[in-house]
Amino acid sequence: MTTYYTSEHEWISVEGDIGTVGITDHAQHALGDIVFVELPDLGRAVTKGGEAAVVESVKAASDVYSPVSGEVVAANSAIADQPGLVNEGAETNGWFFKVRLSTPAELDGLMDRAAYDAFLKGQE
């Protein structure tokens, strides 16, 4: 399993042709207490960089973008029922959706953990 990161603070962990997508720990810290999550419908086609979900906190509402193109094959209903789970484990149990990759080569444009950490340092 390999995990990649975007400059919009999403992560995708890929196993075979399925990627699990969520927001990074950095993003959930920036948002603060998450109070609402809107997940994509199963079977929905998403495009790389396109809006796929919504997360709202006490501070702001933000779109969650898909790091890759593909079809949504699962959504994490647990975070819809308990949005605070994203704050508790943004990069583990707080995932948003799973996507079947239609263009695996799109992963080549994403960052690994070291590159993402360097990206964050550059934002300070």
Structure-token match 């809006």, residue found: 51
Whether 63 is in a domain gets the answer: yes
Whether 12 is in a domain gets the answer: yes
Tell me the residue range of the domain where 23 lies. Answer: 2-104
pLDDT (tens digit per residue) in 15-36: 999 999 999 999 999 999 999 9
Q: Which residues of 69-84 are buried (b: 16+ CB within 10 A; e: fewer)?
A: bbebebbbeebeeebe
Contact status, residue 38 vs residue 52, Cβ threshold 8 Å? no
Interatomic CA distance for residues 87 and 32, integer angstroms: 8
Whether 124 is in a domain gets the answer: no
What's the domain count of the chain? 1
Structure-token match 């006490």, residue found: 58
Whether 90 is in a domain gets the answer: yes
Whether 111 is in a domain gets the answer: no
User: In CATH, what number is assigned to the domain containing residue 43?
Assistant: 2.40.50.100
Helical H segments across the chain, by residue range: 25-31, 77-81, 84-88, 113-123
Q: Shortest CA distance to 14 belongs to which of 68, 55, 85, 78?
A: 68
pLDDT (tens digit per residue) in 67-119: 999 999 999 999 999 999 999 999 999 999 999 999 999 999 999 999 999 99
Residue 4's CB: how many other CB atoms inside 10 A? 22
pTM > 0.85: yes
Here the tokens at position 81 are 């029922």
Interatomic CA distance for residues 107 and 113, integer angstroms: 13
